[in-house]
């Protein structure tokens, strides 16, 4: 058990949700409003980059318990997450915005690998975005999370991401890099990539470059013009605090309720209280597991269908077509 001293007072599940709704500037509507298929792909690339957040070394969110949920609305965007498996840890997300005709479905399974001086976490699973009125679906993966222990401590997103739209044939290829092994160099939090047609990878339509925690630009390969497509300061800085609209509508499985006593201890720096609350919660989960095993019962998610294929891994599909408005509101 990770001591509460090294925990952020929030769950991984909440962090996943925040990457979608916790923004000062709306990036999703741009995906819908792009005039051409290329405009929309550029907007999807920018939105995908906006879902990455700088992380702090030395502290980590709570590991979600089985059945934990997180339900938040931002404007007309309603977001619902559920921890659909604990061993292995699998998280599912479903978000819908009927006004803008956007649907998001994520299923992700993080798998850490210890490699001497680093810990590399591969985030398995696909992220799907549907632009309903455009009849377009975009499928993308997540970069890897790299925790560097030596010679310089750090945590960063690295690796390759591919975003593909089957209907238009457009594809974006992104490469996220960090500093060199010694912790220096010009590659810190850099992203480079291109937008192409998957049928003709030799022809680059746009080049993508910049730092994902600052600004990212694209360059038109025909006329050479560049423009900023993502500015982190405009999107993820000076964020508002969520408000509670309907206390009675909050589920007992909501992240803030599940981890409430632990978070109170951490925020007040009462480490004994935080440790005891966390130990009690984890022991309760182990007891529930023992009880299910003794009765031969299998736990089933409330909001998602969960399946596993040996070739494609875990997959989640929402049981409802749309997500209802949430009792917790993130201000616009």
- Asked if pLDDT for residue 182 goes beyond 60, the answer is no
Name the pLDDT band for 201 (thresholds 50, 70, 90).
confident
Name the pLDDT band for 81 (thresholds 50, 70, 90).
very high
Instruction: Extract the tokens encoding 90.
Output: 């699998």
Distance between CA atoms of residues 263 and 267, nearest Å: 6
- Asked if pLDDT for residue 75 goes beyond 60, the answer is yes
Q: What is the pLDDT of residues 225-261, one digit of tens each?
A: 999 999 999 999 999 999 999 999 999 999 999 999 9
Distance between CA atoms of residues 83 and 110, nearest Å: 12
Element (DSSP H or E) covering residue 234: helix 232-236
Instruction: Extract the tokens encoding 53.
Output: 């957040």
Per-residue pLDDT at 185 = 53
- Asked if pLDDT for residue 186 goes beyond 70, the answer is no
Mean pLDDT across 153-171: 95
Provide the H-helix boundaries in 168-213.
none
- The dihedral region occupied by 224, where left means phi > 0, alpha psi between -120 and 50, and beta the remainder, is left
Distance between CA atoms of residues 231 and 22, nearest Å: 15
Which of 72-81, 89-98, 116-125, 202-211 is predicted least confidently? 116-125
Name the pLDDT band for 149 (thresholds 50, 70, 90).
confident
Q: How far is CA 176 from CA 21, 45, 46, 49, 236, in A?
A: 23, 13, 14, 10, 19
How far is C-alpha 257 from the geometric centre of its chain's CA atoms? Answer: 21
Q: What is the pLDDT of residues 288-326, one digit of tens each?
A: 999 999 999 999 999 999 999 988 889 999 999 999 999
**β-bridge partners, 322:** none
Let me know: does 199 contact 169? Beta carbons within 8 Å.
yes
Mean pLDDT across 80-102: 96
Mean pLDDT across 191-212: 95
Name the pLDDT band for 161 (thresholds 50, 70, 90).
very high
Give the three-state DSSP class for 85. strand
**β-bridge partners, 57:** none
Distance between CA atoms of residues 117 and 219, nearest Å: 37
Mean pLDDT across 119-147: 95
Distance between CA atoms of residues 188 and 207, nearest Å: 19
Distance between CA atoms of residues 9 and 11, nearest Å: 7
- Asked if pLDDT for residue 144 goes beyond 80, the answer is yes
Q: CB atoms < 10 A from the CB of 97, how many?
A: 23
How far is C-alpha 145 from the geometric centre of its chain's CA atoms? Answer: 12
pTM for the model stands at 0.94
Q: Which of 227, 237, 143, 138 is nearest to 190 (CA)?
A: 143
Distance between CA atoms of residues 155 and 141, nearest Å: 19
């Amino acid at each position: 058990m990770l001591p509460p001293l090294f925990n952020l007072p929030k769950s991984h599940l909440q962090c996943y949700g925040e990457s979608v709704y916790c923004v000062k500037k709306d990036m999703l509507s741009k995906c819908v409003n792009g005039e051409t298929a290329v405009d929309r792909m550029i907007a999807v690339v920018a939105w995908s980059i906006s879902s990455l957040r700088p992380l702090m070394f030395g502290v980590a969110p709570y590991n979600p318990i089985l059945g934990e949920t997180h339900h938040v609305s931002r404007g007309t965007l309603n977001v619902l997450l559920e921890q659909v498996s604990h061993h292995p840890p699998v998280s599912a997300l479903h978000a819908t915005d009927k006004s803008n005709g956007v649907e998001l479905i994520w299923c992700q399974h993080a798998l850490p690998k210890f490699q001497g001086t680093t810990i590399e976490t591969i985030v398995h699973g696909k992220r799907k975005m549907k632009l309903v009125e455009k009849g377009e679906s975009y499928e993308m993966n997540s970069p890897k999370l790299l925790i560097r222990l030596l010679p310089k401590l750090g945590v960063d997103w690295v690796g390759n991401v591919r975003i593909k739209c089957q209907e238009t044939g457009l594809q974006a290829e992104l490469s996220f890099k960090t500093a060199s092994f010694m912790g220096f160099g010009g590659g810190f939090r850099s992203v480079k990539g291109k937008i192409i047609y998957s049928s003709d990878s030799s022809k680059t339509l746009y080049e993508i470059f910049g730092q994902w925690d600052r600004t990212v630009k694209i360059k038109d390969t025909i006329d050479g013009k560049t423009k900023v497509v993502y500015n982190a300061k405009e999107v993820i800085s000076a964020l508002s605090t969520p408000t509670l609209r309907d206390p009675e509508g909050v589920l007992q499985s909501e992240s803030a309720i599940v981890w409430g006593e632990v978070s109170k201890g951490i925020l007040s720096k009462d480490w004994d209280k935080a440790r005891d609350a966390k130990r009690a919660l984890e022991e309760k989960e182990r007891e529930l597991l023992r009880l299910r095993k003794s009765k031969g019962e299998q736990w089933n998610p409330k909001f998602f269908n969960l399946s596993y294929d040996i070739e494609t891994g875990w997959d989640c599909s929402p049981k409802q077509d749309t997500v209802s408005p949430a009792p917790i509101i993130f201000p616009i």
